[in-house]
Amino acid sequence: MLLSGVLYGILLLGQACASIYADTEMNGSILSDIPPGFTVPSTEEVAQFAVKGGEQFKFETEVNRMMSIIIKSLYKNKEVFLRELISNASDALNKIRFLSLTNQKEMQHNSDLKISIVADKKRKTLTITDTGIGMTKANLRENLGTIAKSGTSEFLLNIQKNGTNNGQIGQFGVGFYSVFLVADAVTVISKNNADDQYIWESTSEHDFKIVQDPRGNTLGRGTQIIIHLQSDAYEFLEDEKIKKLIRKHSQFIDFPIYMWTIRTIDKQVVENEAKLSNSQENTDEHEILDSSNKENGNTKTVSHRIADWELLNIHKPIWTRPASLVTEKEYGEFYKSFFRDTLPPLAYSHFKVEGDTDFKSIVFIPKNPPYKFLQPDEPQGKNIRLFVHRVFITDELSEFLPRWLSFVKAVVDSDDLPLSVSRETLSKHAVLKVIQKKVIAKAIELMIQLSKDPKEYKQFYKSYRLAIKFGLVESKGYYNKLVKLLRYESTTHELTSLQDYVLRMKKDQPQIYFITAGDVQTAKHSPFVEKLTARGYEVLYMTDPADEYLVQGDLKKFAGKPMQHIAKSGLLFGDENEFTTQREKLQLQKYQPLLDWLKLKLDSMVETVRISMQLTTSPSAVLANVHGLSPSEERLYAAQLGDRDDPFYQFSIAQKRILEINPNHPIIEGMLKKLNDGEEEAMSDVPYLLFEATAIGSGWEPRDTRKFMTSVEGTLRRFIGVDTAAESKVQIEPAQENDIPIAERIAMIKTDDFVDSDQIRDPYMDLYDEL
């Protein structure tokens, strides 16, 4: 701890419960809001220490930016600083406890693991002390002067642009800097077993100093943070305010949190003793007979004011309690405190496993996915907290869950793993492998349970549908369970599962119909949907690029029914008969001249031109052949390759497509009439315009935008009666040359106008976000 002095250490040694009543303070002395012997250096004293041998450092640029953003974005919610500092103290205590499992000497200076809070109302300081691992001089400079976590630049840009929530602060390892929400100055005193005791201090967002503590080792081991509060933050000196915040954010921290408090307690005393006490100590300022003078037989209630250490987090970790005895509110508060989230979980499962291995666990699904969720270059967060017999072992289990499940958070407490297991061998331990399978299965079971409530599952699916789809691709062993979790909008339902779709299929319907598009509105207005909806068939809308992978892979069939992209050839209805075949033959015979003419005109672009059995209101449609790429697939490949000149991409888009025409549409009937009348010259641009306009309407991009626009312009000219060779008349006024000498122009350039390269968002990140 960072409490100075032998007397103070003796007072702390005995605290093993909520408090130790300070009856020795009852003889008329003035109770103090700081413990006996408690001293911390002032900023002036630290400055004097630094003169004799301290070092001055500058914060790195990102720290300055981070502190500025935190202060601007969270100025209305300053209380988060206490949560962050308590969480950091808990982390430090967990680290020393873990090290002591293999080396008991780590605990020799102080085996009492706890957090202490002292609010000095006279000096306007709030001091938080832990007996954790402490920091060396190098640690102080690295941990409190830089931000080393990858992705911080992107995070800064994101919260500058979109704002932030409290949970993002701790998530990015910058929780310490939230102290500047309330501090004019911050002093950190730290003692690590491997180094001397050092003082770190900063009075601004620009620089800090580090000096060896000339007082020697006053802590034994641990870290003490002294916050010199701003005038508008004095509320954080009030006992009740701090207690409320601890209950709100840190109730389930796995170490005792003590606070030095002055409070009133009631005692039942024999009536004669109470009178005697009152007559002997009638000047005692801190002993007050209860005003109501309650009598209970021969006893009375006497109130005393005492100053002592009060335990603030009295509840034990809830995973050790029977699930039936834990309330939903307790689960929510535990989750928010333990995993530094501002919202309660969307769902949770509290369970106990006995058999091959014994362990207790609570699995949580957050309401919102983590920042940069599923991005391949982003390391997985510390979402799995592993304990052995309630002793924290590690939260660095990046391979415990597959990446698609990295949003799941869980606490696991094993009875079978050895306390001395090293982090290096932990991932290969047989017991952990068993636990891993059980937790994954429980997470999937929790999602299945959620799917039974359409309202809750809609919220879940909106946030985590990509996780399920990635899981289908990456974790084949869970395919049969995950495929039942898929949901799609359709022509008849807002969200439907594949099994419900199959149950609603029409008589003899041989295929599951779907269409891919960039969004639902585009899919709804696709010409391919027309006839199916007119006939009462249901079509699924697939709008995620991941869906393209699924239907090309394991999702080619479901429940024995093949998946059919309605914008590709191969569509069957199952009710084709001799009559429909005869009708098709008659239409083919009638329209064969137009089909041949269109194929001749579009030979470089189409594989075939044919009569459509799908269209009702649109004149035509463009399809990919059975081996070709749909519009969504083409966009997906272009995004993946990142280069539209890539040979594979160019080969893919060069594939010929299929043009279908609607024999019942007036435009197609009119084209046939003009062709039969020998007026094909009047339709010279029509085949190309029809094909490209139809392709755009079907979701493809024009292959040659300039050629397409030139063709449209030519058609407009002929329609209006304008000469196709007529040119626009415009007067061009050339720009004036700059007559300012080059040296003067260079001097006029403001370097402040240049954008920091860290502030430029990678365009591919936007693309990835879209995918």
512 is a domain residue: no
Give which of 79, 445, 371, 117 is closest to 235, Cα–Cα.
79
Does residue 103 register a pLDDT over 50? yes
Give which of 157, 7, 149 is closest to 759, Cα–Cα.
157
663 is a domain residue: yes
Our separate counts of H helices and E strands in the chain read: 26, 24
In 103-148, which ranges are continuous DSSP H helix?
137-145
For residue 499, the one-letter residue type is: Q
Tell me whether residue 6 is annotated as binding. Answer: no
Q: Please state, for a pLDDT cut of 90, what percent of the chain lies above it.
A: 39
Is residue 544 within 8 Å of 551, Cβ to Cβ? Answer: no
Worst-scoring range by mean pLDDT, 151-160, 210-219, 446-455, 743-752? 151-160
Tell me whether residue 202 is annotated as binding. Answer: no
395 is a domain residue: yes
Q: Are residues 145 and 294 in the same domain?
A: no
Q: Are residues 299 and 369 in the same domain?
A: no
Does residue 404 register a pLDDT over 90? yes
Region for 413 from its dihedrals, namely left if φ exceeds 0, alpha if ψ lies in -120 to 50, beta otherwise: beta
Give the angle subtended at the CA of 760 by the CAs of 756 and 763, to the nearest 5°: 165
**Cβ contacts of residue 495 below 8 Å, gap of 6+?**
454, 458, 461, 487, 488, 489
Instruction: Name the domain boundary from 256, 272, 294.
Output: 256
Tell me whether residue 171 is annotated as binding. Answer: yes
Instruction: Name the domain boundary from 405, 421, 451.
Output: 451
Tell me whether residue 172 is annotated as binding. Answer: yes
Q: Are residues 134 and 100 in the same domain?
A: yes
Q: What is the 3-state secondary structure (H, E, C) of 482-521?
A: HHHHCCEEECCCCCECHHHHHHCCCCCCCCEEEEECCCHH
Tell me whether residue 423 is annotated as binding. Answer: yes
Tell me whether residue 223 is annotated as binding. Answer: yes
Give which of 337, 588, 567, 349 is closest to 448, Cα–Cα.
349
For residue 453, the one-letter residue type is: D
501 is a domain residue: no
Q: Are residues 416 and 446 in the same domain?
A: yes
Is residue 117 within 8 Å of 237, Cβ to Cβ? Answer: no
113 is a domain residue: yes
Q: Are residues 85 and 223 in the same domain?
A: yes
Tell me whether residue 757 is annotated as binding. Answer: no
Q: Are residues 96 and 169 in the same domain?
A: yes
Tell me whether residue 241 is annotated as binding. Answer: no
Q: Are residues 243 and 163 in the same domain?
A: yes
For residue 136, the one-letter residue type is: T
Q: Please tell me which residue, 157 or 464, carries the higher pLDDT value.
A: 464
Q: Exposure pattern of 551-584 as b/e (b: 16+ CB <10 Å)?
A: beeebeebeeeebbbbbbbebebeeeeeeeeeee
| Domains held by the chain: number | 4
Is residue 388 within 8 Å of 414, Cβ to Cβ? Answer: yes
Q: For residues 65 and 75, give the distance between their C-alpha atoms in angstroms, rounded to a whole number.
A: 15
pLDDT of residue 28: 39
pLDDT for 284-322, tens place per residue?
334 433 444 444 457 778 888 888 999 998 877 899 899
Q: Are residues 438 and 587 in the same domain?
A: no
Q: For residues 332 and 348, give the distance between their C-alpha atoms in angstroms, rounded to a whole number.
A: 9
Domain that holds residue 428: 318-451
pLDDT for 247-291, tens place per residue?
877 777 889 999 999 888 877 777 655 454 444 443 333 443 344
CATH assignment of the domain containing 328? 3.30.230.80
Please give the full DSSP string across 438-460, using - where no structure is assigned. Answer: HHHHHHHHHHHHHHTSHHHHHHH
**What mean pLDDT value characterizes the chain?**
81
CA separation, residue 9 to residues 16, 125, 523, 531 (Å): 14, 20, 72, 84
Q: Please tell me which residue, 434 or 624, carries the higher pLDDT value.
A: 434
Tell me whether residue 174 is annotated as binding. Answer: yes
Give which of 610, 619, 609 is closest to 666, Cα–Cα.
619
304 is a domain residue: yes
Is residue 126 within 8 Å of 236, Cβ to Cβ? Answer: yes
Q: Are residues 281 and 364 in the same domain?
A: no
- In the DSSP assignment, the letter for residue 624 is B
Tell me whether residue 180 is annotated as binding. Answer: no
Instruction: Name the domain boundary from 271, 286, 311.
Output: 311
Does residue 208 register a pLDDT over 70? yes
Quick one: average pLDDT of 153-165? 52
2 is a domain residue: no
**Cβ contacts of residue 112 below 8 Å, gap of 6+?**
12, 13, 131
Q: Are residues 232 and 185 in the same domain?
A: yes
Tell me whether residue 132 is annotated as binding. Answer: no
Q: Are residues 346 and 304 in the same domain?
A: no
Give which of 112, 85, 94, 82 is closest to 317, Cα–Cα.
94
CATH assignment of the domain containing 233? 3.30.565.10
Is residue 474 within 8 Å of 404, Cβ to Cβ? Answer: yes
Tell me whether residue 1 is annotated as binding. Answer: no
Three-state SS for 157? helix
* Top mean-pLDDT range of 256-270, 470-484, 649-663, 714-728: 470-484
Query: In degrees rounded to 5, what are phi and psi of residue 681?
Result: -60, -35
* Top mean-pLDDT range of 182-186, 498-502, 676-680: 498-502
Q: For residues 338 and 170, give the distance between their C-alpha atoms in angstroms, rounded to a whole number.
A: 12
pLDDT of residue 271: 63
Q: Are residues 248 and 278 in the same domain?
A: no
* Top mean-pLDDT range of 393-397, 464-468, 755-759: 464-468
Worst-scoring range by mean pLDDT, 505-514, 525-534, 698-707? 698-707
pLDDT for 4-30, tens place per residue?
333 233 333 333 333 434 443 433 346
763 is a domain residue: no
Burial of 206 by CB count in 10 Å (0-12 exposed, 13-18 middle, 19+ buried)? exposed
